[in-house]
């Protein structure tokens, strides 16, 4: 995992976006669309990479080892590609926090840490604030 880009999380997120679940057997629905995973796929799912365990809530560091924020969310675009990580920068206990969207291609995993080369807390706070679309 050390040398992998954070883009490796894409396969898991694409699976989520595509509507897969962890069911033991497929459940047919109207129109013949398969739901869930086959018994033969369970091993691959069980040994896959979990966003919840490996990415979400994890600190992000710059190349100097200084924490610059935490990954609060991962955005899956309508085309089912992992596009951005939402980083919470600044603030204390959520007060004054500034969320920003960072393209996943800018992250690296080095020494078991998620890094964002060139980042500082001030640089992240200077980026446009990310806000979820209102539906």
- Side-chain-side CA neighbours of 13 within 13 Å: the count stands at 24
Q: What is the pLDDT of residue 70?
A: 92
> Taking 50 as the threshold, does the pLDDT of residue 21 lie above it?
no
Domains of the chain are 6-126 (2.30.30.240)
Query: In degrees rounded to 5, what are phi and psi of residue 17?
Result: -65, -30
Cβ(71)–Cβ(58) under 8 Å? Answer: yes
pLDDT digits (tens, 9 = 90+) for 70-123: 999 998 888 877 789 999 887 666 567 789 999 999 999 877 889 999 999 889
Mean local confidence (pLDDT), 128-135: 88
Phi, psi of 47 (to 5 degrees): -100, 5
The answer to whether the predicted template modeling score (pTM) of the entire model surpasses 0.75 is no
Q: Over range 62-67, report the average pLDDT.
A: 92
């Amino acid at each position: 995992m050390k040398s992998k880009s954070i883009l490796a999380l894409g396969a898991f997120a694409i699976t989520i976006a595509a509507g897969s679940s962890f069911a033991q057997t497929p459940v047919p629905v109207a129109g013949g669309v398969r739901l869930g995973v086959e018994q033969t796929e369970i091993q691959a799912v069980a040994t896959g990479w979990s966003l919840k365990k490996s990415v979400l809530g994890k600190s992000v560091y710059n190349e100097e080892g200084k924490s610059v924020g935490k990954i609060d969310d991962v955005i899956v675009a309508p085309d089912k590609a992992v596009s951005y990580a939402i980083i919470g920068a600044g603030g204390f206990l959520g007060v004054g926090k500034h969320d920003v969207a960072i393209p996943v291609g800018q992250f690296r995993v080095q020494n078991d840490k998620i890094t964002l080369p060139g980042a500082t807390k001030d640089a992240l706070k200077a980026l446009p604030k990310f806000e979820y679309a209102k539906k």
